[in-house]
Chains A and B, each alone.
Chain A
Amino acid sequence: MGAFRRAVQRLVAKPWFRLPRQPMLRHLTFAVVAGVAAYFLTNWLSAFNDYEVGQIAFYAIALAGLTVLTGISGQISLGQGGFMAVGAFTLALLYAHTTLDIVLELLIAAAVSAVAGAVIGIPATRLRGPYLAGMTLMVAVGLPYVTNQYNSIFGGDQGLQTPAPSGPSDINPQQWLAWVQILAAFVVLILLANLVKSRFGRSFRAVRDDEIAASLAGIHVARTKVIAFMVSSACAGLAGALFVLSAGITNSAEFPLSLSIYLLAGVVLGGTGSLMGVWWGAILVVYLPTEWATSLAGDLHANQLVSANLAIVIFGLVLVVMMLAAPTGIQGGLRWIAARVGAYFSADPLVTIALPLRDSIVPTGNNDGPGTPSTMPERETS
């Protein structure tokens, strides 16, 4: 066993084994590797699965924005679904009334959502904790209703049709849309990863942990919070626009309160604050309501009512159980395993002794801040 351990240590010490140190290069390398894997995956999978992989991609974008807002900036938001609606309707209106390129339409949708995020984020700087949650809840419920009021613009119950863009004629349209969505997801994740590692990310975390200390250190607290809101809602807007390209129509019925809660559950499952974790959450949000719930209901020989509501029940359970038992999510769990593995293979005896103790040192936050789940062992996200 000792020989194996030393072999691994030698391998890991080799310079080519590490990802580059510079954050942007590191993220790009990672993305390129993942992108190549995704290409092969979509080619191997059937057309319907391409459709679903594309859905995972855009939900990952929405989740990434939310995890940055809630985990890193410490502002809980239940309104992510509402901002998705803003992006979706922006795209639908652009599609109906202009002939702009799809990429431009997506960018405008994200920008409009960012503005909406600022509108909500500015009064939200005065709130924290349950007050903020309640206010964002009202956004989730209220924004889609606005579209119901102005039916002549927003299409009312019928909605606005948003067919998927067609790519080059020799590529399967499901595959093309999936690639667009996956590419968008990678771009957003790279940008967010860089943001989190940058000065902005540090101010987000400083404000999260102790607003007063942060402002004493020279950080403009309100502006930081609003920027975090804008980043999160821009992600949601882009995700919403991609969402309705998959759905084929834009309609307020597609943005119920449950969407915002599912997104929160996805963030909590993956690990609040973890960008890698959004993929777990996205898989949950795409597969649970459709395939897993129906096959589980089938296994249980449940009736139609149970089958339709099983997903909702399980999402609720995920939220409750994860917060009670595993607040750092899947990524937190993986990090814990990784730290153990790292400690085992480390040559430094101090690491082997110190690592188990490190977990018991709990970071304390300001009492009236929303704080972080108190068992989050480290500040950096992977």
Chain B
Amino acid sequence: MRVHVDPEKCQGHNRCYALAPELFDVDDLGNASERNDGVVPEGLEDKARKAVANCPEYAISISE
């Protein structure tokens, strides 16, 4: 499983970073990006789905 943050859509709500700091990081402007090329370590799949389901801007996607 991989996660991806669309930088065009991300407005820096930081919901993903708050829910899954293992999968996402934020820069100095508060914009989010995926860690580790988006690869979701085993056991964190639920956190990845939760991050997707809480992004107000629909900026995060998952690919299997």
**A and B associate in one complex:** no
